[in-house]
Structure 1
């Protein structure tokens, strides 16, 4: 049975680390130029200040997915507590089971408990999950563009 939980990022780092390369290989752009090298200390500092929302999906105790978001007043809208998604992932073996819906319904519930008024999430266009957010009733609001400017 798949369950969702708010857990400590720092305490789960050793369990999270094996999933990050799988997530990176599937979704990251410019992998030939930008290696996976998370600033774990920044995540831990955000968690310690109460600004990190770390939610895990577990199947019989095994970590199979996660959501990481940052909770703070909006930079342009200081009166609006906002959760900005950093990353989310559901292991491919558990997609199609409703795990993504379960994850984001739990994210919504936890955001509401924290007093969050607005939640921003996103989807990579080359591995599109927009259908998930549309089925959850989210509205598209912006498209990001990227260009490699390095060497």
Structure 2
């Protein structure tokens, strides 16, 4: 894993990209997982957890104490992953996505 511009964390298997996490900052202040993707062949093997842990350690080293993320309200698997990783639900914005689908937000203490 490596950080590029402290925003994209890449996971590689030899030279192949197998996953990544995009870190953003809400209002230029609050760390937020904009996207986390793991290649289907590597899902369920802890790669997403390792990407998250890497980012958490990076944020802790900068003195940050929380990280935020979100999922559409109709995405049960991503919501379960967040809860499994220690995130707590902290709010919902109704109708924000295409098709008027809401977004559930999560926070995790570092």
Q: CA deviation at 1:117?
A: 2.5
Q: CA deviation at 1:119?
A: 0.8
Deviations 1:81-139 (A, max 9, x none): 42022211111111011111111111111111222222101223336312222122111
8 Å CA contact 1:57–1:65 kept in 2: the answer is: yes
Match of 2:8 among 36, 54, 66: 54
Hey, which of these two has a bigger chunk of strand by percent? 2
Match of 2:80 among 131, 141, 145: 131
Gaps of 5+ in 2: 100-110
Hey, which of these two has a bigger chunk of helix by percent? 1
Q: Could you say which residue in structure 2 is the equivalent of 1:105?
A: 53
Q: Could you say which residue in structure 1 is the equivalent of 2:2?
A: 5
TM-score by length of 2: 0.71
After superposition, the CA RMSD in angstroms is: 2.4
8 Å CA contact 1:6–1:53 kept in 2: the answer is: yes
